[in-house]
Amino acid sequence: MFDTHQTPLPALPGVGYKPQHYTALVDDPTPVGWLEIHAENYMGAGGRPIAQLRELSKRFPVSVHGVGLSIGGEARLDPDHLDRLRTLCNWLNPYSFSEHLAWSTHDSAFFNDLLPLPYTNATLARVCAHIDEVQTCLGRRMLLENPSSYLAFSDSTWDEPDFLREITRRTGCGLLLDVNNVFVSATNLGFSPRGYIDAFPLEAVGEIHLGGHDDDTDDQGAPLLIDSHGREVADPVWALLDHTLALAGPRPVLVEWDTDVPDWFVLRDEAARAADALAAIPDAQEMSVNRDSARLAR
Amino acid sequence: MTGLITEFLPALRDPAHPVPAGLHDGAGRPAGRRFNVYRNNVLVSLIEALETGFPAIRSLLGAQNFRNIARGYATENPPEGPLMIRYGQHFPDWVAAIVALAHIPYLPDVARLELALRASYHAADHTALTAEDLSAVSQDDVERTPLALAPSVHLMRSAWPVVEIRRFALDPSTAKPKGGAQEVAVIRPDFDPVAHALPAGGFAFMAALRDGQPLGQAADTATDAAPQFDLGEVLAFLLSHRALTKGTPRQ
């Protein structure tokens, strides 16, 4: 049905690409291992965004990360948007395509956020049908990202790791594990972030995300973390990355910084910290990991 | 069951709407203000998209006034699809309908110009027609030569000197805007669109080319519209700014 033998992203640090970093990035003699772009920013007909992306794709492995497909939505997937994704993936031939376990669209109104889903059998069937449609349309395996949660649904009958495992089992898709999202959700909903990682289907993880979060409080004065992508990755999230890599072995690790974007070198330093984490994976664990996912590309 | 569309969505779009009952925190207490994270994320991201898309309007109104107006627009006009690079198509009309802004009558046209610049930025690339291409055409055929505007070219008319108003809004150290009505072309030679006030007949000429008229006929159209139209001057301007491509002959 789809090609499962694509070249995977290298198990190196990457960063979310920001156009303001273009010159510093291409002039940097020690840049990052790969780049990720938001699909929707490269769906114009031409101009500088497309030209820069074409040039960057000659220098770096590129991953396409969609933020607007509304895979969890109750309505059918937007066929025009699927067409645009296929067009982008066809000319760019990215190393990876990923989207979110979330919804954002209804009746042609797009709510520019990743909205939460109840983890029920009905949601499971719908999400799997949509992932099947995406993978068939794009002719490639996709990765699905775990969300950051601020609340839970009384209707949910599945834990999130089990829900994601069942999605991978039914669709053959891989997972994008955002460890900042895990830490944010665990803090906000009062579960153990390490327990979540321990229960996660790590064998399906094709990419790891890191990002910064903001601190707020809820009505009870309890901590409420906001997944803002507007600052450095927090220390407990780095610790959670170490825990994850020790269990999963080397994986492509991406640093996201989408608001209050800093100078290139600040972002690159964050990526260097991810490189340190990858280099520090215990050898004994490394022996047992799936070598395929760690294989350097090209 | 908490319906995403029947319950979540109405509460998301209207802060006065109660938070759906089936949403809770980790201890089973009602979600309360946790729901506001989603309301805020949506609204703030749309306001920021409008700030990015309409910097001259923001400068003319001031940051706080702009946020208030953008909040109203974002609440009533969510994006029609996931391409945020297109968001704000109705913002000029929204601004035009605000009675309290009637004393700044040029605002909607400045907003239209900012939309045109953004559309041009993302438009398809083109192979520009050069003066050499044109001089290679024999004298007899020039009149019938089909020319086309590059897909990144946008035309607009304004009762105000919008090009200068926008420039001054973004850089108050430049000369104060003077003059009256303008015909404007947004042209993108390579990657950076620039707004130009056109000389007499320039708009009519370019609009005629866009409508498929060959060179000679478009020049006649322009002269009819403005007797002082200077074909040589306008052609040299369009060629030097890479605004033209080869057209397709009419059947």
- CATH, residue A249: 3.20.20.150
DSSP state of B138: -
B8/chain A closest Cα distance in angstroms: 9
pLDDT digits (tens, 9 = 90+) for A124-143: 999 999 999 999 999 999 99
Residue B242 located in a structural domain: yes
More confident: B142 or A55: A55
Of all helices (H) and strands (E), which one includes residue B113? helix B107-122
CB A194 within 8 A of CB A244: no
Q: How far apart are CA A1 and CA A118, in angstroms?
A: 29
Residues of B in contact with A44 (CB under 8 A): 85, 121-123
Residue B41 located in a structural domain: no
Among B22, B26, B42, the residue with its CB nearest the CB of A111 is B42
CB A161 within 8 A of CB A196: yes
**Is any Cβ of chain A less than 8 angstroms from the Cβ of B29?**
yes
Residue A211 located in a structural domain: yes
pLDDT at residue number A3: 56
CB A71 within 8 A of CB A130: yes
Residue A2 located in a structural domain: no
Tally of structural domains, chain A:
1
Q: How far apart are CA B88 and CA A83, in angstroms?
A: 23
DSSP state of B30: B
**Is any Cβ of chain A less than 8 angstroms from the Cβ of B25?**
yes
pLDDT at residue number A287: 47
Residue A169 located in a structural domain: yes
pLDDT at residue number A6: 76
Residue B208 located in a structural domain: yes
pLDDT at residue number B185: 98
pLDDT digits (tens, 9 = 90+) for B191-219: 999 999 999 999 999 999 999 999 999 99
**Is any Cβ of chain B less than 8 angstroms from the Cβ of A153?**
yes
Quick one: angle between helices B231-240 and B215-225, nearest 10? Answer: 120
pLDDT at residue number A1: 52
Phi, psi of B178 (to 5 degrees): -130, 170
CB A131 within 8 A of CB A142: yes
pLDDT at residue number B251: 54
Q: What is the ipTM of this complex?
A: 0.93
Residue B184 located in a structural domain: yes
CB B209 within 8 A of CB B187: no
What is the band of A181 on the pLDDT scale with cuts at 50, 70, 90? very high
pLDDT digits (tens, 9 = 90+) for B101-125: 999 999 999 999 999 999 999 999 9
**Is any Cβ of chain A less than 8 angstroms from the Cβ of B62?**
no
Looking only at the bridges linking them, the beta strands covering A13-16 and A34-38 are parallel
Q: How far apart are CA A144 and CA A175, in angstroms?
A: 5
Q: What is the mean pLDDT of residues A48-69?
A: 97
Residue B206 located in a structural domain: yes
The residue count for chain B: 251
Tally of structural domains, chain B:
1
Sheet with B182-187: strands ordered across: B154-158, B182-187, B194-197
Residue B207 located in a structural domain: yes
Check pLDDT > 90 for residue A286: no
Check pLDDT > 50 for residue B187: yes
Contact A110 B4 (CB under 8 A): no
Q: Which domain holds residue B241?
A: 105-251
Contact A40 B26 (CB under 8 A): no
A27 CB neighbour count, 10 Å cutoff = 9
The residue count for chain A: 298
What is the band of A293 on the pLDDT scale with cuts at 50, 70, 90? very low
Residues of B in contact with A113 (CB under 8 A): 38, 41-42, 45
Residue A3 located in a structural domain: no
What stretches of chain B adopt beta strand conformation (E)? 23-24, 147-149, 154-158, 182-187, 194-197, 244-246
Q: How far apart are CA A228 and CA A204, in angstroms?
A: 26
Residues of B in contact with A190 (CB under 8 A): 25-27
Q: Which domain holds residue A204?
A: 13-294
Give the type of residue at B19.
V
Q: How far apart are CA A213 and CA A197, in angstroms?
A: 19
pLDDT at residue number B5: 86
Residue B204 located in a structural domain: yes
Give the type of residue at A285.
Q
Among A51, A105, A106, the residue with its CB nearest the CB of B82 is A105
- Name B118's Cβ contacts closer than 8 Å, sequence gap at least 6: B53, B85
Give the type of residue at A144.
L
Looking only at the bridges linking them, the beta strands covering A143-145 and A109-115 are unpaired
Phi, psi of A217 (to 5 degrees): -135, 155
Residue B171 located in a structural domain: yes
More confident: A3 or B88: B88
Check pLDDT > 60 for residue B167: yes
What is the band of A101 on the pLDDT scale with cuts at 50, 70, 90? very high
A:203-232 residues touching chain B, CB 8 A cutoff: 216, 218-220, 222, 224, 226
B178/chain A closest Cα distance in angstroms: 32
Q: Please compute, for residue B250, the number of CA atoms within 13 A of its CA located in the half-sphere on the CB side.
A: 12
